[in-house]
Structure 1
Amino acid sequence: MNLLEARARFRSLCAAEGPVESAELDDIWAALETVRPEEILGAWKGGEFDTGHPLNGMLPKAGWYGKTFHTLHDAKPLLCRDETGKLYSNVELGMGEASLWTVEFRGESTATMIYDGRPVLDHFKRVDETTLMGIMNGKDVPAEGPFYYFFLERAPETADGTPEPGDTA
């Protein structure tokens, strides 16, 4: 699969309802470009692919909006909405926050978010200038998975780098 085919297939899977095969997401991942941590600073709205992973559906239930990377060492992995719609960093669920590093995953070095309080890594690759594909990996996950697959879309930001207050998930 070439990059253009991967981007087109990625878009169709984001729009599709129902289950997505992990193997198809792996094929897309393999065709995408790596990204440097500095290139992904800012606010991102998130979504997930339903692969049957045990985490599927859990983040939306927690009010997950996305992620914000203020600096390399100030990342908010679980930006959520409270019952009034206000965004907050859910440090309880994430057991802290996170930082961005370049980490090798599947033979490629790419931007990776490392959680402060959990043995969890979110690896990122670029779909296009405003979209990232992510794979969540962790200490207890075998090399072949199962992995949690998600995506991030650039969110409109305020001057301080946080998502616009009226932005909807």
Structure 2
Amino acid sequence: MTQLTDRFRRLRDAPAPSTDDLDALWADLPTVGVAEILGHWTGGDFATGHPISTVLSRARWHGKWFDSATDVTPIVCRGEDGTLQANERAAGGGAASLWNVEFRGEVTATMVYDKVPVLDHFKQVDADTLVGIMNGKLESTYGITDLYYFWLEREK
């Protein structure tokens, strides 16, 4: 296990990680390209107390599906019957696309929502683990000013 993997796991499992620690991890992670993140991913978030966490929890958020750069299901949730399905209402839902976008001075894979002015930027912990930062016009869209920090793990 690498040092970055250890840091990621400590922050993922921490009861209240600081955004400073999450930003420091982000700065040390390598960027990732769109082609490298295609596939289906399960997700979770860092316990920062961000309001989006509550929205996704209520929707029973499972993860994201990146079937191609132009075929993205950004909010996959578990239905009452246990099946996985797109949720078009939760946190921007609908559809999205993937682009390589500059964020904090680096170009990295980014999911661009079709219906809301919000971007999910990704960096790589390892081939099967990503850290994401949601940003954009969160204040005008959701009344939120803080960035949302989350993670994805590739489905096996």
Root-mean-square deviation (CA), in Å? 1.6
Which contiguous aligned blocks of 4+ residues in structure 1 show a shift greater than 2 angstroms?
4-7, 92-95
Counterpart pick for 2:121 among 117, 120, 123 = 123
- Say whether 1:67 aligns with 2:64: yes
Residues 110-166 of structure 1, C-alpha deviations (whole Å, 9 max, x = no match): 00000000101000000001100000001245xxx621000000002xxxxxxxxxx
2:17–2:48 contact (8 Å) kept in structure 1: yes
Look up the match of 2:142.
Answer: none
Q: Return the letter of the residue paired with 2:100.
A: T
Query: Aligned residue for 2:153?
Result: 153
Question: Residues 20 and 96 of structure 1: is their aligned pair in 2 closer, same or farther, counting only changes over 3 Å?
Answer: same
Question: TM-score, with normalisation over the residues of structure 2?
Answer: 0.90
- Secondary structure at 2:40 match in 1: strand
Q: What is the rounded CA distance, in whole Å, between the counterparts of 1:62 and 1:78 in structure 2?
A: 9
- Structure 1 equivalent of residue 42 of structure 2: 45
Overall identity of the aligned pairs, in %: 53
The Cα of 1:61 is off from its aligned counterpart by 1.4
SS of residue paired to 2:16: coil
Looking at structure 2, the residues matched to 149 and 140 of structure 1 have their Cα atoms a distance apart, in angstroms, of: 13
Q: Name the SS for the 1:33 alignment partner.
A: coil
Single out whichever of 126-135 and 5-14 deviates more from structure 2. Answer: 5-14
> Does 2:107 match 1:112?
no
Q: What number of residue pairs does the alignment pair up? A: 150
Match of 2:75, as an amino acid?
A: L
- Give the whole-Å Cα distance in 2 for the aligned partners of 1:65 and 1:117: 20
Distance 2:59 2:30 in 1: 30
Question: Under a length normalisation based on structure 1, what TM-score does the superposition of the two structures give?
Answer: 0.84
Q: Which amino acid aligns with 1:133?
A: V
Distance 1:58 1:5, change over 3 A: same
Q: 1:56 to 1:12 in 2, by over 3 A?
A: same
Q: Which moved more, 1:47-56 or 1:129-138?
A: 47-56
For structure 2, the 5+ residue unaligned runs are 140-144
* Larger helix percent: 2
